[in-house]
Structure 1
């Protein structure tokens, strides 16, 4: 899940093709449906992204009572309005009436705390939870930003690799050579440097044992001469999320696919190519494209049917974009990595979003 930032943005305004009273305000590559005539291209307004949870007073001020998602009707999610995908909210809250939004946009000011906006945290089912313990040696996963919000992460023509983004739950495993120790965690617990104690009922430990992830990490650690190795994978199947890929997370047929590797080499943690290092060792997230970066190709690959099962059982969540050679990004302030999500996935009915 990407980070939450509520920022002022310079808008590009487009006509709505199916509604005379509506327009489309563009932020990055996102578009949000707005009332016609409120904004013009070049104006600055606040952008509230998807998965934001709004306080009641702001919901009432924006006229969104009863129109947002979630049991409390306070969560922003993607919707189609008169046939056009609307992602996030564009507004000028009263609380920022005296703020120079153009300057705030230039400085990247985050208004989330001031406006009382928080990030939605999905509930954690019992099978994805358990007893935890401190694990400072755990190698944490990186939050992936959406390419639509940050379209300048990659340069057109730059060699990239697109892998299918699976809708499951991220499993973090760190193997430490000193003491031959294995730590297993989820994305949520891992972000707090907490590991799950081994439990045969726990989803992540079941996947690790069923697919031999710890053994693969130990072999890789020895091959690389590393002090620590982290293998990051997606656990999926029925009972995990609403998209199953033909697997069953409640039985021995639970699915697992590795998508990233980190290793501590000579005191430095480096991100490495999972496909190159783990081919033949573990199931891998499918590679959908390898070649020059082009946003049209990314958008095309993000949609369609899943390829994990080999049977196109349901829609695809999206893709993860990586450079062919791992590098730093000034846009993210860290790894050059991003995701693109299918509109059909965003607007599907009855979807689950457990971490």
Structure 2
């Protein structure tokens, strides 16, 4: 899940092909449906992204009472309006009436706290929870930003690789070479600096033991001369999320695919290609394409059917984009890595979003 920021953005207004009274306001590569004539290209407005939870007062002010997602109808999610995908909300809240939004956009000011907007936190099923321990040495996963919000993460033509984004639950494994200690956590729990106590009933520990990940991490530590190694993968299947890829999270061998590796070498954290280090060691997320970066290619490959099962059992969640050569990005102030989620995934009914 990407970070939540509610910012002022410069708009590009496009025609809605199926509605005379509506238009499309483009922010980055996102498009949100707005009433026709509300904005012009070059105007500045506030953009509230998906997975934002809005306070009741703001919902009423924006005329969205009963129209948002969740049991309390207060969460922003993607919807189709007259056939066009609308992601996020473009608005000018009254509390910001006297704010210079152009200047705020240049500063990158975040209005989430002022507007009472918070990030939606998905529930944690019993099989994914458990007793926890403080884990200050845990190598955490990072929030991946959406390419539609940050289209300048990659340079045109930069060599990139696209892997399939899987709809499971992120499993974090940290191996410490000096002690042989293994820490296991989820993305949500790991973000709190906590790891899970080993329990055969816990989904993550079952997957880690079944796939022999500690031994793989130990070999990596020796190969890299690393003090600590992090192996990041997706656990998936029936009982994990609504998209199963033909696997079962309840099986003796739960569905699992590794997608990233990090290591601390000489006191410095580095990221490595899972495909290069783990081929033949662990199941890997499928690579869909590699070549010169082109946003249209990336957006196109985010759509379609899953490839994990080899049977195209259901829709594809999306793709993750990485440069062939790992690097830092000024656009996001961190790793140059991004995701794009498919339209079908965003608008599916009855989906689950556990972490």
* 1: CA distance, partners of 2:137 / 2:102: 42
Alpha carbons 2:147, 2:339 under 8 Å: kept: yes
| Matched residue, 2:31 | 31
Secondary structure at the residue paired with 2:80? strand
Shift of 1:282: 0.2
Alpha carbons 2:207, 2:253 under 8 Å: kept: no
| Matched residue, 1:237 | 237
* 2: CA distance, partners of 1:291 / 1:34: 36
Alpha carbons 2:161, 2:324 under 8 Å: kept: yes
Secondary structure at the residue paired with 1:184? strand
Shift of 1:311: 0.6
Alpha carbons 1:208, 1:214 under 8 Å: kept: yes
* 1: CA distance, partners of 2:304 / 2:44: 34
Secondary structure at the residue paired with 1:299? helix
| Matched residue, 1:59 | 59
| RMSD of aligned alpha carbons | 0.5
Matched, 1:201 2:221: no
The number of equivalent residue pairs is 355
Query: Could you give the per-residue CA deviations for residues 59-109 of structure 1, whole angstroms, max 9, x where no partner exists?
Result: 000000010000000000000000000000000001111111110011110
Over 4 Å off, 4+ runs = none
| Matched residue, 1:122 | 122
| Matched residue, 1:255 | 255
* 2: CA distance, partners of 1:214 / 1:291: 33
* 2: CA distance, partners of 1:258 / 1:89: 34
| Matched residue, 2:212 | 212
Per the normalisation by structure 2, the TM-score is: 0.99
* 1: CA distance, partners of 2:299 / 2:254: 29
Secondary structure at the residue paired with 1:283? coil
* 1: CA distance, partners of 2:251 / 2:326: 36
| Matched residue, 2:327 | 327
| Matched residue, 1:76 | 76
* 2: CA distance, partners of 1:335 / 1:253: 32
Query: Could you give the per-residue CA deviations for residues 214-244 of structure 1, whole angstroms, max 9, x where no partner exists?
Result: 1110111111111000000000000100000
Query: Could you give the per-residue CA deviations for residues 101-127 of structure 1, whole angstroms, max 9, x where no partner exists?
Result: 110011110000000000000000011
| Matched residue, 1:48 | 48
Secondary structure at the residue paired with 1:102? helix
| Matched residue, 1:131 | 131
Secondary structure at the residue paired with 2:124? coil
Shift of 1:253: 4.0
Aligned pairs for 1:165-176 (under 5 A) are 165-176=165-176
Secondary structure at the residue paired with 2:233? strand
Shift of 1:20: 0.3
Query: Could you give the per-residue CA deviations for residues 300-353 of structure 1, whole angstroms, max 9, x where no partner exists?
Result: 111111000011000000000000000000011010000011001000011000
Unaligned segments of structure 1, at least 5 residues: none
* 2: CA distance, partners of 1:230 / 1:166: 19
Shift of 1:16: 0.4
* 1: CA distance, partners of 2:172 / 2:42: 43
Shift of 1:252: 1.8
Query: Could you give the per-residue CA deviations for residues 11-41 of structure 1, whole angstroms, max 9, x where no partner exists?
Result: 0000100000000000000000000001000
